[in-house]
Chains A and B, each alone.
Chain A
Amino acid sequence: DQQVKQNSPSLSVQEGRISILNCDYTNSMFDYFLWYKKYPAEGPTFLISISSIKDKNEDGRFTVFLNKSAKHLSLHIVPSQPGDSAVYFCAAGPGRSGGSNYKLTFGKGTLLTVNP
């Protein structure tokens, strides 16, 4: 059951360049999408989110893009910094009409390595 897919297990970029992390989903009931960052031995940390009524949300160096027709979202990090090296999880939640209690469905994660 892979309702949220992150097809790239890892990504390596140079410091200062753009990192683009991708995520696809299959469940059309998903209405809210989030990116979490996770360092080893820590819990996931909320990074940025987007509602399905928007196609872009920006917060500092982080921008999330949503293409609802393609069921695809991406996280752009510009410029990338070595401290951004972590596992990035895409997560999704159905709207209230989906009977949700805000539970999140996660992808498997992408390990981002930013090289100095």
Chain B
Amino acid sequence: EPEVTQTPSHQVTQMGQEVILRCVPISNHLYFYWYRQILGQKVEFLVSFYNNEISEKSEIFDDQFSVERPDGSNFTLKIRSTKLEDSAMYFCATAVGLGLSSYEQYFGPGTRLTVT
């Protein structure tokens, strides 16, 4: 069964450093998302990406965050200058993009980001 993969599984970085989280979506999916879950809190939407551009972003997704799909396969989330409060589990999700089934998003296993 096709699945969303994410690398690395765990990233430790120092405050102020840049990190890039990578995701390989399911091959025929057209909608891509990043969500995050701070420990003990709910899963929160960060950004959606369709047709090579951001289609929606949350208040969390400020100028320190960016996404791109550089080679048509990987979908990346970059945090330019990490803060302690960016420590969380980051999930990539993808959806096929056919009407309401686009809500049925397939999640990757997540990248645990720890900012020290």
Enumerate chain A interface residues (CB-CB to B < 8 A). Answer: 32, 34, 36, 41-46, 49, 51, 89, 91, 93, 100-109
Contact = CB atoms under 8 A, between A and B. Distances in A.
Contacts of B108: 43
Q: Chain B interface secondary structure, helix, strand, loop or mixed?
A: strand
A101 B91 contact: no
Interface of B: 4, 31, 33, 35, 41-45, 48, 50, 55-56, 58, 91, 93, 95, 100, 102-110
A108 B105 contact: no
A105 B35 CA distance: 10
Contacts, number: 61
Given A41-B109, A101-B31, 16 more contacts: A32-B100, A34-B103, A43-B4, A43-B91, A44-B91, A45-B107, A46-B105, A102-B48, A102-B102, A103-B45, A103-B56, A104-B103, A104-B105, A106-B43, A106-B44, A109-B42
